[in-house]
Chain A
Amino acid sequence: MSDAVKVAIIGSGPAGLSAAARAAQLGLAHVLLEKTDHLSDTIFKYQKGKRVLATPERLDLRSDCRFAEGARETILGNWDQDAANNGVNVAYQAEVVEVSGQKGAFSIKTAKGAVIAAENIVLAIGTQGNPNRLRCDGYDLPHIIYQVDDPEDFKNQHITVVGSGDAGIENALGVAEEALENTVTILNRSKDFARAKAKNVSDMMEAGENGFLSIRTETQPKLVEPGWLTLETPNGDERIECDVIVARLGSVAPRGFVESMGIEFTGPDREAFPKLSPTFESTVPGIFVIGALAGYPLIKHCMNQGYDVVEFINGNSALTPADEKDLAAIFADLPQKKSVSEWLDYLRTRVRIFADVSPLQMREFMLDSKVAFYRRGEVVFEKGEPGSSLFAIADGHAEVEVAPGVTVPIEQGSIFGEVGLISGRKRGATIRAGEDSIFVEVSRTAALKLMAAVPGAKRVINRISLERQLLQIFKGGLTVDDLQEVVDQAEVVRVPAGKVVVTEGEQGDDVYVIRSGSMVVEKDIGGKPIFLRYLPAGSYFGEMGVLSGEPRNATVKAAVGSEVIKLTGESFRKMLAARPQVRAATEAAVAERAAMNAFIESRKASYSSAVDLYSDTASFIMKEGLGEATDALLIDENLCVGCDNCEKACADSHEGLSRLDREAGKTFAHLHVPTSCRHCEHPHCMADCPPNVIHRGPDGEVFMEPGCIGCGNCMRNCPYGVIRMEAAPPPKPGLLSWLLFGKGPGPGEPSPKWTKKKLGDEKPKKIAVKCDMCKGIAGGPACVRACPTGAAIRVSPEEFLSIARLEEDAG
């Protein structure tokens, strides 16, 4: 055994390479151990010619190796040169399989049997170790691959890419290259592309737009068969042709290997990271973890960390991380004076959602957040204000105003504002500081990233929002403590559109709360499913079973892709037993629902056709996506004379552009759903707006504030095709000059011809325009006000499908 090196670096990715280069520069005895026969295997495996991005832009690079945005080949070439120039001592084909010993005397064994002695170890093996596999039947079939070495290998095939992080998107774009003539589909389980870089997302959207690949959100694989793939989509199952599946579902740290060295992780979850000190030292003294394995996937961070960690090992304790100055600015205005790392520790120990976040991730989240000191009584936000950021209480406490003069405290460590985060709705209550307090405000994007990357944080957020939702639903003096067991056993279930959650006649006592989306309740009457009720997000069902113990008396199915929270009947019963008032209140609600069901059943006997019409209309409304609407425009075609005054009114009250297309859209029984914004409960359009200008206003309207960059993402994301990219026409002469002298194009949207003539060669920028529910117009929606016959109305589905409607119809 040769003499021990000062530091052995395992893994030659950007992190390990940069560390080795620093060690070489510092003249430390070192060795860089690499499993493969080349440097940086992860980047080596990128697609040929891939453009490697150097984000985050604001961060300075601190490394002895070069790195800037460029082609994969250039970057790898540079690194080979840099390694040689710096005098890095690389051992290729040296896969480390075992590490033993302690600080000062580690013994590192490779697969080939070599043993290396080292005083310190830098572990930079990345996370590529084991890719996540599909979780559906057929997951082990050989045509599922986990990476695309060269897109040219695929020609004229049906390819499905699962997962829409950066890797998935890049693979999909690679194989979707026009010349290869592949039919490419990319699946995303959720609506957002929160995990991917904005540039990749916009490239993908553009390719989708041009028909090179089909992008399917809220869709996941259900069954893999040779040549075929069954998908679970919001509209039910679908079987598509598929010769190759590229699974890019991210990866987990090769945790077993790391843990075998004695290194502890932040939590039990698959996605947790090793516990690290601010100098990247793991729980085993002398073993340092950096790069993707440490939870830091961006190349620039990896390289900076490689540099820093070797400086630390070399005894440089004065070194501050490269993002230090940005972070220091964030904490600068707080009353207490602490160093950045003290602040980060402070937040991590005092705020529940940050508990599982590694110090390194914490730095990243803080860069997208604000921390502020609030004096006692100071308002954080007002009820009805738009806002989708999440607040965490680092010090002090907050007071929620549940009713005028009545407040409920939220304790230190907890969060508030989660409703806005989850549903994009306006703030439901005014929040003030209960004492002098410090609150952290995490932007919606950062909060979504936090939930995606740190399962612990996601659990805490989901739990708190469930608790609060249940407290709101079940009145009668319920406290958080009463809910412990119910919440412990609760489970979030995703339900694609049309899927049945509760079946009439079946035994069952689980209770469900709708977290997002909406449900319809149907009952089989005379052999035909009859619509009983529409349940918007926030309502619950299944409680009759738990109270009466009888079989389900109606079927409940998802109107749109939804998420329900399943509460076990047992825990629910216990909760009711402990709180008789809650039981009484719930029973009263049940009685009301039962009475309504009975009413409809009785009507069905005497006014069958009215009930059928009501039921069919309800199905139509749901099919048109109004199940997720909060406010939609409908036109009664028994009254509409086709004058298009609604469109003209809309245009004349909004920069000359109409935000509705009256004629387009579906019709049932003379009820017409025109192409116009539904102000969705969970607006799809908001999912990916780079400047983040789409918001929900105080009346529930989804609107765009100025600042649209014209990227068209919202237009593509809206399933109802209601957003158009258009430039505002020049101003017209007044109405009187048109009426009296025929000047100008008259009321409504001017014809493109007129606009063109008026503008000449000028080409104004097109931005997204959509209905804003006539936000800020005192008189209310212009389309409705301007309809001469009363055909145009705006409704929300729950009112529209209220029982009153049936009563009226049936007389």
Chain B
Amino acid sequence: MASLFPRRLLGRRNRATQTERVRERKHEGFLRYANFRWAKISGGLCLLVITSYALIDVTPRPNGGSWYGYTLGTIGALLILWLTALGYRKRKMTRDAWSLKAWTSAHVYLGLSLIVIGTWHTGFQLGWNVHTLAWALMMLVILSGLYGVIVYATLPAALSNNRDEMTQMQMLEAIRAFDRQLHAAAQPLSPEDTAPVLASLDEDPFAGGIRARLSGRYPKDATAAALRALSLSHGGNADARQKVIGLLSQKEAALARLRAHLRIRAMLEIWLYVHVPLTFALIAALSAHIISVFFYW
């Protein structure tokens, strides 16, 4: 059961609401969209390219400069431009009927077909030049896209489980609430005990940089340090300290939830920071490739 919703409920939609409007009736993820329509189309396209490559005898030898190579190259270049247009479609809220899910589905599968289209376009002639640079960038974009699809497919459930109906704001608010209680509870503590608690209060829950964000490890975490320090401490007001320790461990748990949340979100987003800039690099390289091709031939 890939998703909770059956595809069958859709047929009933119309009758029940008596609406003529176009609606998203099917409930299926972008990968399964329309019963894998774009996977099939893209697979067919790849098959066509591979078999025709084998069958057609291009002289003197297959490469980008042959009529066959031009055809594949044109298709590939147009495809790349169209794939890039997803970024625009995603944000342009026009009022007509379109589905970003359908777009994403086509994007993913047609994007993958570029592995075949692009590579076969080269006629397997790779070297250290601007042409191969374009190909390599394309492969990198595709690879990063592949990573994206994998995290899109696997992480959402984890994100949902971790947040447990809390919103990010509420997680932050929970931490602030513990901070307020800690502030009051720490009053009776000795100065040595107070210092680590104050450090925990001063800590910015978002601090730690991208590495900590992605790994979920925060070695310099002041709350954990305060917990360690207070559990080792003796003397002073033991009751008050116990109370503070209790609060610190609650805060630690709340921090852990927030950090897990931020980590999963970062993993769901970070690849786009590779995918999109590389796309622009690709388009630049592609332009250079096309211009140089027209200069030399």
Q: Report which A residues bind B (CB closer than 8 A).
A: 617, 630-631, 636-643, 645, 648-649, 652-653, 663-667, 669-672, 699-700, 735, 739, 746-747, 777-782, 784-796, 798-800, 802, 804-805, 807-809
* Structural contact, B27 and A790, CB atoms closer than 8 A: yes
Tell whether B57 is near chain A: CB-to-CB under 8 Å.
Answer: no
Which A residues are CB-close (under 8 A) to B92?
Answer: 735
Q: How far is the CB of B260 from chain A (nearest CB, A)?
A: 13
Tell whether B237 is near chain A: CB-to-CB under 8 Å.
Answer: no
Q: How far is the CB of A704 from chain B (nearest CB, A)?
A: 19
Measured in the bound complex, the distance between the Cα atoms of B135 and A120 in whole Å is 108
Measured in the bound complex, the distance between the Cα atoms of B33 and A790 in whole Å is 8
> A639, A649, A746: which contacts B156 (Cβ < 8 A)?
A639
Q: How far is the CB of A739 from chain B (nearest CB, A)?
A: 7
Measured in the bound complex, the distance between the Cα atoms of B19 and A789 in whole Å is 24
Residue of A nearest to B32 (CB): A790
Tell whether B51 is near chain A: CB-to-CB under 8 Å.
Answer: no
**6 A-B residue pairs with CB within 8 Å:** A638-B156, A641-B152, A667-B164, A778-B97, A780-B22, A793-B27
> B1, B90, B101, B160: which contacts A790 (Cβ < 8 A)?
B101
Which A residues are CB-close (under 8 A) to B8?
Answer: 804-805, 807-808
Measured in the bound complex, the distance between the Cα atoms of B100 and A786 in whole Å is 5
* Structural contact, B93 and A782, CB atoms closer than 8 A: yes
* Structural contact, A638 and B3, CB atoms closer than 8 A: yes
Tell whether B23 is near chain A: CB-to-CB under 8 Å.
Answer: yes
* Structural contact, B159 and A802, CB atoms closer than 8 A: no
* Structural contact, A779 and B24, CB atoms closer than 8 A: no
Say whether, besides A669-B4, A804-B6, A653 and B24 are in contact (CB < 8 Å).
no
Say whether, besides A778-B96, A800-B9, A804-B6, A793 and B24 are in contact (CB < 8 Å).
yes
Q: Mark B1-37, 1 if CB is under 8 A from A, else 0.
A: 1111111110111001101011110011110010000
Residue of A nearest to B152 (CB): A641
Measured in the bound complex, the distance between the Cα atoms of B169 and A804 in whole Å is 38
* Structural contact, A799 and B165, CB atoms closer than 8 A: no
* Structural contact, B16 and A798, CB atoms closer than 8 A: yes
Which B residues are CB-close (under 8 A) to A670?
Answer: 4, 157, 160
Which A residues are CB-close (under 8 A) to B2?
Answer: 638
Which B residues are CB-close (under 8 A) to A666?
Answer: 165
Which A residues are CB-close (under 8 A) to B5?
Answer: 636, 793, 805, 808
Residue of A nearest to B105 (CB): A790
Q: How far is the CB of A401 from chain B (nearest CB, A)?
A: 15
Measured in the bound complex, the distance between the Cα atoms of B4 and A671 in whole Å is 8
Residue of B nearest to A662 (CB): B167
* Structural contact, A779 and B165, CB atoms closer than 8 A: no
Which B residues are CB-close (under 8 A) to A640?
Answer: 156, 159-160
Tell whether B168 is near chain A: CB-to-CB under 8 Å.
Answer: yes
Say whether, besides A735-B91, A777-B95, A796-B16, A789 and B157 are in contact (CB < 8 Å).
no
Q: How far is the CB of B82 from chain A (nearest CB, A)?
A: 16
Residue of A nearest to B265 (CB): A642
* Structural contact, A780 and B21, CB atoms closer than 8 A: yes
Which A residues are CB-close (under 8 A) to B74?
Answer: none
Which B residues are CB-close (under 8 A) to A779?
Answer: 22, 94-98
* Structural contact, B4 and A778, CB atoms closer than 8 A: no
Tell whether B117 is near chain A: CB-to-CB under 8 Å.
Answer: no
> A638, A784, A802, A808: which contacts B12 (Cβ < 8 A)?
A802
Instruction: Give the A-B pair count, Cβ closer than 8 A.
Output: 163
Other CB < 8 Å A-B pairs besides A739-B91, A793-B24, 9 of them? A637-B156, A643-B268, A645-B90, A663-B167, A779-B22, A787-B101, A788-B101, A807-B8, A808-B5
* Structural contact, A788 and B165, CB atoms closer than 8 A: no
Measured in the bound complex, the distance between the Cα atoms of B6 and A617 in whole Å is 14
Measured in the bound complex, the distance between the Cα atoms of B8 and A352 in whole Å is 48
> B4, B29, B98, B169: which contacts A785 (Cβ < 8 A)?
B98
User: 9 tightest A-B contacts by CB?
Assistant: A808-B6, A637-B160, A804-B8, A779-B97, A663-B167, A652-B93, A790-B101, A784-B24, A788-B104
Measured in the bound complex, the distance between the Cα atoms of B104 and A788 in whole Å is 6
The residue among A630, A670, A790, A795 with the most chain B CB atoms within 10 A of its own CB is: A790
Measured in the bound complex, the distance between the Cα atoms of B4 and A261 in whole Å is 72
Measured in the bound complex, the distance between the Cα atoms of B65 and A386 in whole Å is 65
Q: How far is the CB of A105 from chain B (nearest CB, A)?
A: 69
Which A residues are CB-close (under 8 A) to B90?
Answer: 645, 786, 788
Interface size on B, as a range, is 35 or more
Which B residues are CB-close (under 8 A) to A798?
Answer: 16
Q: How far is the CB of B168 from chain A (nearest CB, A)?
A: 7
Tell whether B181 is near chain A: CB-to-CB under 8 Å.
Answer: no
The residue among A782, A786, A805 with the most chain B CB atoms within 10 A of its own CB is: A786
Q: How far is the CB of B248 from chain A (nearest CB, A)?
A: 27
Which B residues are CB-close (under 8 A) to A802?
Answer: 9, 12
Q: Mark B72-96, 1 if CB is under 8 A from A, else 0.
A: 0000000000000001101111111
Say whether, besides A637-B160, A735-B92, A631 and B168 are in contact (CB < 8 Å).
no
Tell whether B99 is near chain A: CB-to-CB under 8 Å.
Answer: yes
Which A residues are CB-close (under 8 A) to B47?
Answer: none
Say whether, besides A699-B17, A799-B16, A789 and B160 are in contact (CB < 8 Å).
no
Tell whether B195 is near chain A: CB-to-CB under 8 Å.
Answer: no
Tell whether B270 is near chain A: CB-to-CB under 8 Å.
Answer: no
Which B residues are CB-close (under 8 A) to A805?
Answer: 5-6, 8-9
List residues 181-239 of chain B with CB under 8 A from any CB of chain A: none
Measured in the bound complex, the distance between the Cα atoms of B12 and A630 in whole Å is 14
Residue of B nearest to A785 (CB): B99
* Structural contact, A642 and B101, CB atoms closer than 8 A: no
Residue of A nearest to B15 (CB): A799
* Structural contact, B27 and A636, CB atoms closer than 8 A: yes
* Structural contact, B156 and A641, CB atoms closer than 8 A: yes
Measured in the bound complex, the distance between the Cα atoms of B16 and A804 in whole Å is 14
Which A residues are CB-close (under 8 A) to B12?
Answer: 799, 802, 804
Measured in the bound complex, the distance between the Cα atoms of B87 and A735 in whole Å is 11
Which B residues are CB-close (under 8 A) to A787?
Answer: 100-101
Residue of B nearest to A783 (CB): B24
Which A residues are CB-close (under 8 A) to B265?
Answer: 642
Which B residues are CB-close (under 8 A) to A669?
Answer: 4
* Structural contact, B88 and A735, CB atoms closer than 8 A: yes
The residue among A665, A669, A746, A795 with the most chain B CB atoms within 10 A of its own CB is: A795
* Structural contact, B17 and A631, CB atoms closer than 8 A: yes
* Structural contact, A786 and B159, CB atoms closer than 8 A: no
Tell whether B41 is near chain A: CB-to-CB under 8 Å.
Answer: no
List residues 133-156 of chain B with CB under 8 A from any CB of chain A: 152, 155-156
Which A residues are CB-close (under 8 A) to B95?
Answer: 653, 777-779
> A653, A672, A794, A800: which contacts B23 (Cβ < 8 A)?
A794
Which B residues are CB-close (under 8 A) to A793?
Answer: 5, 24, 27
Measured in the bound complex, the distance between the Cα atoms of B211 and A163 in whole Å is 61
Q: How far is the CB of B263 from chain A (nearest CB, A)?
A: 12
Residue of A nearest to B14 (CB): A799
* Structural contact, B27 and A653, CB atoms closer than 8 A: no
* Structural contact, B22 and A789, CB atoms closer than 8 A: no
Measured in the bound complex, the distance between the Cα atoms of B166 and A672 in whole Å is 12
Which A residues are CB-close (under 8 A) to B99?
Answer: 784-785
Q: How far is the CB of B115 from chain A (nearest CB, A)?
A: 22
Measured in the bound complex, the distance between the Cα atoms of B30 and A642 in whole Å is 15
Q: How far is the CB of B100 from chain A (nearest CB, A)?
A: 5
Measured in the bound complex, the distance between the Cα atoms of B6 and A794 in whole Å is 14
Q: Mark B49-64, 1 if CB is under 8 A from A, else 0.
A: 0000000000000000
Which A residues are CB-close (under 8 A) to B155?
Answer: 641
Residue of B nearest to A773 (CB): B21
Say whether, besides A799-B9, A808-B8, A790 and B29 are in contact (CB < 8 Å).
yes
Say whether, besides A700-B17, A739-B88, A802-B9, A780 and B97 are in contact (CB < 8 Å).
yes
Which A residues are CB-close (under 8 A) to B28?
Answer: 790
Q: Mark B261-297, 1 if CB is under 8 A from A, else 0.
A: 0000100100000000000000000000000000000
* Structural contact, B9 and A785, CB atoms closer than 8 A: no
Measured in the bound complex, the distance between the Cα atoms of B100 and A419 in whole Å is 38
Measured in the bound complex, the distance between the Cα atoms of B163 and A640 in whole Å is 13
Say whether, besides A640-B156, A739-B88, A779-B95, A784 and B23 are in contact (CB < 8 Å).
yes
Which B residues are CB-close (under 8 A) to A746?
Answer: 91
